[in-house]
Amino acid sequence: MKLLFCPLCYDVIRLVEREWRKCDCELSGGQYNKDGMTATLGGYARVLGISNTFFNELWMELDNEQRASYRERNHYGPGDCWWGEFKGDTQIFRVASAEGPRSRLSTVGQMSLR
């Protein structure tokens, strides 16, 4: 799971695929991409990652050694959450504006639905 963190207003929001979301101060924004795995961030946004396994009921039954082994096998950091955008991260795309990516499409005329 990817959360957007704004270092200016300290807001944390859940990224979703259906809409571009912005923090309280509106200087950070982000959205999951259509693949449901990668995300696009804009403005000052940082990504805070939480392993999906953390929300699995069985995770709470594992001891510290079992959790550490799982994290190592799956290339997670030492904890249940981490800051994203590490060198070589292929799941985060950046745009400059907190308003989100802009489409280069333009319309010509109007279409009638008759």
Rounded to two decimals, the pTM is: 0.70
Q: What is the average pLDDT value for the chain, to the nearest integer?
A: 82
pLDDT greater than 60 at residue 58: yes
- DSSP per-residue codes, 36-59: SS-EEEEET-EEEEE-GGGGSGGG
Per-residue pLDDT tens for 29-51?
999 999 988 999 999 999 988 77
Q: Are 9 and 21 in contact (CB under 8 A)?
A: no
Give the pLDDT score at 105.
Answer: 46
